[in-house]
Amino acid sequence: MKANCFVGTNKVEVQDVPDPTILNSRDAIVKITSTAICGSDLHLVDGYVPTMEKGDVLGHEFMGEVVEVGRGVDGSRLRVGDRVVVPFPIACGACLACQAELYSCCENTNPNAGVAEKMFGHPVAGIFGYSHLTGGFAGGQAEYARVPFADVGPLRIESDLPDEQVLFLSDILPTGYMGAEMCDITDGDVVAVWGAGPVGQFAMDSARVLGAAMVIAIDDVGYRLDMAASQGYRTVDYSDTDVRSALLELTGGRGPDKCIDAVGMEATDGAAHVQLYDRLKQAVRSETDRPHALRQAILSCRSGGVVSVIGVYGGLIDKFPAGAWMNRSLTLRTGQCHVQRYMRPLLDRIERGELDPMRVITHRLPLAEARRGYDIFKNKEDGCEKVVLKP
């Protein structure tokens, strides 16, 4: 089959690879009908993740049709012919983390748990196409994918909603929603969102659905701010505006009640903390003019507010404003999205017309043009917000 593979720093290539086969009894093979490029795919290919191997199949946002199931798959939950959206964290459904609905912290699905444990203190779940630190699972920017624990995660789509309305249930819609949910939004809350990429846009939509009085988008990419403005959100362009002052002005000097970091840290690492620390310092030095979303969010948030982090962090960060956080009674909440928790309720919201995931799609490309998709997404060319790939 054809699959989009990591072949080196900032280089991806669609290659011929073997078709996937069942390796565990609860696996399914899914024939992929739609897949997408995620901002975190850019983190993987930009060379900051040392547990990427040349030839890894990329992609963790995908959906399609079940064409084969292992003998251990519960037939009441999944059968050949089912149309499914696949959540990006692989979860067993049986461990204590899964029972607490902390699916992205599943204790059983990462065969490289020992490595993850050295990096993070405790291991994290396996993730499709997302380095060997999260298990070394082949991804879904391909014609077919093997899906472990197929009777736990995948969501069956029984309505005739088009792929593009439900594809983002695999990651970015639940991720944005969890960012807003962690804010515990109450009446009158102003919610500021750093990053107007696809996850940021969905965090904004979710904040509004959950009752925010005002939503503010912060970014420096004009067309992304325009996209937010088109939905009725206020915008702050940090390339020509002091963010903290602008936020104070928009909130009568109070500051946003809730702040969402949908940017994260460009750099991640999997081997040694020291190496990671140096790399981060290098990255920061090379981008001294670029504000740090998390630091800014903490300094901007009103006292007693919530800072919710859904942007991806990989290791250590420098100069964390602990004084502001502690003295002003801020709550910091975060997590890789526990996608399985949100798929069904968000599908309901899509069916009711409360959320329109298709609004972020700017490019539809055949899988064969994946490389171009990565290029325009990374370089923010051609108004690129979200690329959907068709195998």
Partner 1 sequence: MELTSTTTVNKPPQEVFDFWHRLENLVAFIAHLDEVRVTGPRSSRWRASAPFDTVLEWDVVTTTDVAAERIAWASVEGADVHTSGEVVLVPAPGRRGTEVRVTLRYDMPAGPLGRAVARYFGDDPSQVLDDDLRRLKQVMETGEVVRSEGAPWGKRARKEFPQRPARPLSEEELQELRGRTEVRA
Binding site for partner 1 (CB under 8 A): 1, 3, 5, 17-21, 23-26, 51, 53-57, 72, 92, 94-96, 99, 107-115, 126, 129, 132, 135-139, 146, 148-149
CB nearer partner 1, residue 40 or residue 235: 40
CB of 90 to partner 1, least distance (A): 8
Q: Which is nearer to partner 1, 102 or 247 (CB)?
A: 102
Closest approach of Cβ 176 to partner 1, in Å?
A: 26
Nearest approach, Cβ of residue 7 and partner 1 (Å): 10
Residue 97, both tokens: 């983390």
Give dist(CA 85, CA 170) in Å, integer: 6
Q: For the CB of residue 259, give the shortest distance to partner 1 in the complex, in Å.
A: 34
Tell the smallest beta-carbon distance from residue 4 to partner 1 (Å). 11
DSSP code of residue 336: S
Q: In terms of CB distance, is 154 or 198 closer to partner 1?
A: 154
Q: What tokens appear for 113 in the block?
A: 């748990």
Task: Pick the closer one to partner 1 by CB: 75 or 253.
Answer: 75
| Closest approach of partner 1 to the CB of residue 314, in Å | 16
C-beta separation of 135 from 92 below 8 A = no
Structure tokens at 300: 């901007």
Residues in contact with 124: Cβ distance below 8 Å, sequence separation at least 6, in sequence order: 104, 105, 106, 110, 116, 134, 336
Which of 123/291 has CB closer to partner 1? 123
Q: Which residues contact residue 249 at a Cβ distance below 8 angstroms, ignoring those fewer than 6 apart?
A: none
- The stretches of the chain forming alpha helices (DSSP H) are 39-45, 96-99, 113-120, 163-166, 172-181, 198-209, 222-230, 243-250, 273-286, 293-300, 322-327, 339-351, 370-378
Of 18 and 121, CB closest to partner 1 = 18
